[in-house]
């Protein structure tokens, strides 16, 4: 049981050190990945969608 606890403690410490060292890179990646995108600016309004008539 002690070995299992020490392995988990070691993994937690390594993850914490990794996050602390690369926190700026991780933050920019998260902001880029999950941030809100702005819609592209268009000079003219989009054309309306014209659906073909279906045979009845």
Cα–Cα distance between 24 and 20 in angstroms, integer?
9
> For position 44, what pLDDT does the model report?
85
| The residue to which tokens 């054309």 are assigned | 47
| Per-residue model confidence as pLDDT tens for the chain (56 residues) | 999 999 999 999 999 999 999 999 999 999 888 887 787 788 888 889 888 888 77
Task: Please tell me whether residue 36 adopts helix, strand or coil conformation.
Answer: coil
As given in the structure block, the two tokens for residue 29 are 């990646």
Using a cut of 0.75, tell me whether the model's pTM lies above it. Answer: no
Domains of the chain, residue spans: 2-33
Could you tell me the end-to-end alpha-carbon distance of the chain, in angstroms, rounded to an integer? 73
CA 11 to chain centre: 24
Residue 8: which H helix or E strand, with range?
helix 2-21
């Amino acid at each position: 049981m002690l070995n299992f606890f020490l392995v988990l403690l070691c993994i937690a410490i390594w993850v914490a050190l990794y996050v602390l060292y690369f926190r700026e890179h991780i933050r920019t990646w998260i902001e880029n990945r999950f941030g809100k995108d702005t819609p592209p600016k268009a000079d003219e309004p989009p054309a309306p969608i014209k659906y073909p008539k279906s045979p009845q």
